[in-house]
């Protein structure tokens, strides 16, 4: 098992893993331009990627980026995705990825390590709780995407806008 920072050469394999995650979450998978955008964002540092190789093939990835807590006046690590291929599960890969990111956050003086989990993914919730995470039930994720993002950005008809 090799855990390492991803390189551009890994992006096609990562996109395949993202497609697996999308299938698991019953969401649309990456589009045809995803690999090129992911490469560009990896180069610019907008996303950080870690991969796990088993027998020379990608078996898992974690996508993350830095966030910031004004209350703590410290950066944080936000885990966007953590996915392990079904055939590679129950081998400690998810735990190793979480511990690696927690150690990185600690070494860099971050005040938080955060992520979201789907309400129906009870197995993941139990795993995260065993790893020391708290479920913050009082917080709700807000999202604006697609055409709604354009409307929010450019519409003059939004109350208070």
Residues carrying an active site annotation: 128
Query: Strands (DSSP E) along 47-102, which ranges?
Result: 48-54, 57-69, 74-84
Between CA 14 and CA 10 the distance in angstroms is 6
Q: Structure tokens of 50?
A: 């870690």
Distances from the Cα of 118 to the Cαs of 23, 121, 128, 131, 135, in angstroms? Answer: 14, 5, 12, 17, 11
């Amino acid at each position: 098992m090799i855990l390492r920072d991803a390189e551009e050469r890994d992006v096609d394999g990562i996109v395949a893993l993202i497609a697996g995650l999308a299938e698991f979450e019953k969401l649309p998978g990456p589009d045809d331009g995803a690999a090129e955008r992911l490469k560009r964002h990896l180069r610019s540092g907008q996303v950080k990627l870690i991969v796990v190789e088993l027998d020379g093939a990608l078996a898992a990835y974690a996508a993350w980026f830095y966030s910031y807590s004004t209350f703590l006046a410290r950066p944080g690590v936000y885990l966007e995705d953590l996915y392990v291929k079904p055939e590679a599960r129950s081998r400690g890969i998810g735990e190793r990825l979480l511990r690696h990111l927690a150690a990185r956050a600690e070494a860099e003086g971050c005040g938080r390590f955060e992520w979201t989990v789907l309400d129906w993914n009870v197995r993941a919730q139990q795993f995260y709780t065993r790893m020391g995470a708290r479920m913050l039930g009082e917080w709700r994720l807000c999202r604006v995407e697609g055409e709604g993002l354009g409307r929010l950005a450019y519409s003059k008809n939004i109350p208070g806008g």
